[in-house]
């Protein structure tokens, strides 16, 4: 058994390997006894315990908890280790992972929506207030579970990876089930989700909508109240406190609402787990009634999904996540399962709840960018006018910095650009600005000899459509794989025109595109999947350019195709 997880207190990676023993339980009657034995070995032998508890272990803590019958995984399994080794930040591989991106849901949309209506009927009857209803995504081709972990989980605050000879568990969890440090017990349940926008303005709107959502706030407070009640079973009298309610946190694909509940306790970890498990955020309210409905409606056992992964350390220290955004991989066959779901309340709209599930599964289709990717701006400087459209470049850079949580110091950047300008002696220069996550900037320049009259650029259509869910299409960065892939195998042309799955034009690999149709100059809207170019924005603002989707079939009737970027400005193109 090997386990890698992120320690929330230090933000460092811990690795557990070569266990001195592995203790597991496959029957409900053995769950509490096994946990007590694990805790005893930690305390008496100064060992660390790391492992997982499956959702179906719930009846081992409380016989009133109803789940489907467990299959495959043990109800709980922990390795006992002499120490936890600190790991450096895991590095992403540039090699193909061999893992499938083709995940299929086990529940059809019409079935999901019908079950949401059944939950709403039970709410109307007063049998429940909220139910966390979930389904499974499945694939048959995960050859490299560790690479899957790096692809989806490396940036998650409660990420965890566990492997044995038979199976692997990959968790990209952002949710803290509980942390124990001496007598201090803290939980941070999550409830309330909004899909991240792909560009900065849409992202800000979605954040604002979640913050102002009465429905999501009510759900969040309901679950926080359940955690307070559960904590009260093991807390010292009068110590349970809701430290904060409805905080909005940013993750790679979603905005997530959280609350923080704390208490003081002298109870052992096994009793804390018995009081809290499973976490209220992934069952519903009231817990027992909601779990009964979950067992009837969901197509399969949850397994590790919505269970917990974590460690127990000497000196009354423990950390456990809520195993959401978590996959179980059969290492022999490559079959894998990944759970998605959400809380259903009376005013839930089935179609929107289904869309939220799809958004939560989007993480499976996108590989994370290397931690050292940078934001990029390329500008034209002229002796006569200085930096062309500088305010637009800085605004775009600021928006992307906000989106990706990069430090951004506008005044410092302007100062550095001014220093560079004093060293430039040609009429025209291309200035390239790179900015890393800390806000550190690098400036380079190249003297230009801009042609007064450009021959039309020869352009061809890309062989494959772009993925409009790829966030790097909407921000100028060093992550240019989509553009590099589009150029592969396309010969005898100067540039390539990109297009999306629906057959609409997007941009070229180095420029925005404008097409003259019926005497008006049009450019595709950002939602089609393209970079918000600085020159494009300026021309839209002046009224010279207009937005509308452009079908590829319309290019044959175009009176003119023009490429736009802020270094070459406007230059003609010809489809070949």
Beta strand pairing status for 495-499 and 457-461? parallel
90 domain-assigned? yes
Q: Measured in whole angstroms, how far is the alpha carbon of residue 573 from the centre of its chain? A: 38
Query: What does pLDDT average to over the chain?
Result: 94
Give yes or no: residues 382 and 526 share one domain: no
* Catalytic residue ranges: 175, 191
Give residue 364's pLDDT band: very low, low, confident or very high (50, 70, 90): confident
Give yes or no: residues 161 and 182 share one domain: yes
Residue burial 284-305, b: 16+ Cβ < 10 Å; e: rest: bbebebbbbbbbebbebbbbbb
Torsion from C-alpha of 171, 175, 180, 183, nearest 10 degrees = -170
Per-residue model confidence (pLDDT) at position 452? 60
Query: Domain of 44: which CATH number?
Result: 3.60.120.10
Give yes or no: residues 159 and 28 share one domain: yes
Number of domains in the chain: 3
Q: Would you say 299 and 135 are in contact if contact means Cβ atoms under 8 Å apart?
A: yes
Give yes or no: residues 270 and 361 share one domain: yes
Per-residue model confidence (pLDDT) at position 361? 84
**pLDDT at residue 97 above 60?**
no
Per-residue model confidence (pLDDT) at position 558? 95
141 domain-assigned? yes
User: 400, 418, 448: which is the final residue of a domain?
Assistant: 448
Q: How far apart are CA 310 and CA 166, in angstroms?
A: 20
Residue 570 structure tokens: 């406007």
Q: How far apart are CA 373 and CA 216, in angstroms?
A: 34
Give yes or no: residues 339 and 430 share one domain: no
Give yes or no: residues 488 and 436 share one domain: no
User: 365, 385, 413: which is the final residue of a domain?
Assistant: 365
- Summarised one tens digit per residue, pLDDT across range 32-55 is 999 999 999 999 999 999 999 999
- Summarised one tens digit per residue, pLDDT across range 190-223 is 998 888 898 888 999 999 999 999 989 999 999 9
Give yes or no: residues 400 and 284 share one domain: no
Give yes or no: residues 486 and 521 share one domain: yes
297 domain-assigned? yes
Give yes or no: residues 425 and 551 share one domain: no
Q: How far apart are CA 100 and CA 78, in angstroms?
A: 29
Residue 236 has what DSSP assignment?
Answer: P
Q: Per-residue pLDDT averaged across 291-314, rounded?
A: 98
Query: Domain of 419: which CATH number?
Result: 3.30.470.10
Give yes or no: residues 35 and 158 share one domain: yes
- Summarised one tens digit per residue, pLDDT across range 389-443 is 999 999 999 999 999 999 999 999 999 999 999 999 999 999 999 999 999 999 9
Per the structure, the complete domain to which residue 468 belongs is given by 457-575
Query: Domain of 490: which CATH number?
Result: 3.20.10.10
Give yes or no: residues 173 and 297 share one domain: yes
User: 448, 467, 489: which is the final residue of a domain?
Assistant: 448
Give yes or no: residues 318 and 414 share one domain: no
Give residue 155's pLDDT band: very low, low, confident or very high (50, 70, 90): confident
Residue 157 has what DSSP assignment?
Answer: T
């Amino acid at each position: 058994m090997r386990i890698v997880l992120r320690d929330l207190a230090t933000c460092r990676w811990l690795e557990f390997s070569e266990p001195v023993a592995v203790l597991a339980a496959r029957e409900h009657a053995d769950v509490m006894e096994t946990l007590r034995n694990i805790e005893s070995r930690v305390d008496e032998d100064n060992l660390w315990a790391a492992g997982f508890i499956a959702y179906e272990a719930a009846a081992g803590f409380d016989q009133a908890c109803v789940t489907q019958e467990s299959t495959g995984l043990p109800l709980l399994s922990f390795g006992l280790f002499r120490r936890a080794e600190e790991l450096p930040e895991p590095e992403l591989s540039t090699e193909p992972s061999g893992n499938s991106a083709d995940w299929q849901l086990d529940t059809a949309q019409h079935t999901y929506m019908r079950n949401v209506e059944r939950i709403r009927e039970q709410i109307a009857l007063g049998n429940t207030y909220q139910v966390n209803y979930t389904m499974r995504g499945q694939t048959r081709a995960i050859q490299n579970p560790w690479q899957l972990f790096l692809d989806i989980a490396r940036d998650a605050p409660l990420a965890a990876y566990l492997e044995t000879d038979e199976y692997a568990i990959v968790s990209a969890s952002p949710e803290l089930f509980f942390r124990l440090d001496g007598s201090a017990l803290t939980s941070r349940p999550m409830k309330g989700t909004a899909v991240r926008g792909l560009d900065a303005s849409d992202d800000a709107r979605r954040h604002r909508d979640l913050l102002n959502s009465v429905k999501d706030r009510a759900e969040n407070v309901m679950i926080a109240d359940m955690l307070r009640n559960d904590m009260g079973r093991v807390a010292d009298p009068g110590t349970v406190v809701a430290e904060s309610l409805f905080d909005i946190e940013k993750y790679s694909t979603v905005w997530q609402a959280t609350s923080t509940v704390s208490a003081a306790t002298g109870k052992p970890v096994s009793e804390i787990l018995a009081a809290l498990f499973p976490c209220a955020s992934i069952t519903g309210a009231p817990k027992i009634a909601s779990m009964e409905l979950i067992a009837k409606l969901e197509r399969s056992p949850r397994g590790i999904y919505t269970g917990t992964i974590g460690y127990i350390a000497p000196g009354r220290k423990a950390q456990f996540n809520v195993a959401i955004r978590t996959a179980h991989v059969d290492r022999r066959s490559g079959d894998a399962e990944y759970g998605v779901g959400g809380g259903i309340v009376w005013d839930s709209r089935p179609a929107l709840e289904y869309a939220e599930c799809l958004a939560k599964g989007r993480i499976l289709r996108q590989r994370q960018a290397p931690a050292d990717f940078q934001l990029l701006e390329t500008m034209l400087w002229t002796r006569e006018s200085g930096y062309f459209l500088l305010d637009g470049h800085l605004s775009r850079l600021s928006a992307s910095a906000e989106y990706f949580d990069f430090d951004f110091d506008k005044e410092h950047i302007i100062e550095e650009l001014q220093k560079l300008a004093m060293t430039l002696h040609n009429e025209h220069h291309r200035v390239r600005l790179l900015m890393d996550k800390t806000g550190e900037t690098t400036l380079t320049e190249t003297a230009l000899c801009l042609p007064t009259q450009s021959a039309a650029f020869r352009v061809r259509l890309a062989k494959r459509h772009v993925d409009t869910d790829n966030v790097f299409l909407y921000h100028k960065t060093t992550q240019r794989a989509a553009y590099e892939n589009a150029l592969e195998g396309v010969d005898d042309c100067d540039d390539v025109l990109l297009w999306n799955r629906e057959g609409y034009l997007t941009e070229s690999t180095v420029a925005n595109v404008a097409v003259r149709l019926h005497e008006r100059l049009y450019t595709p809207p950002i939602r089609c999947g393209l970079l918000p170019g600085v020159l494009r924005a300026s021309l839209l603002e002046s009224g010279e350019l207009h937005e509308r989707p452009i079908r590829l079939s319309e290019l044959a009737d175009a009176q003119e195709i023009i490429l736009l970027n802020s270094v070459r400005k406007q230059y003609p193109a010809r489809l070949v």
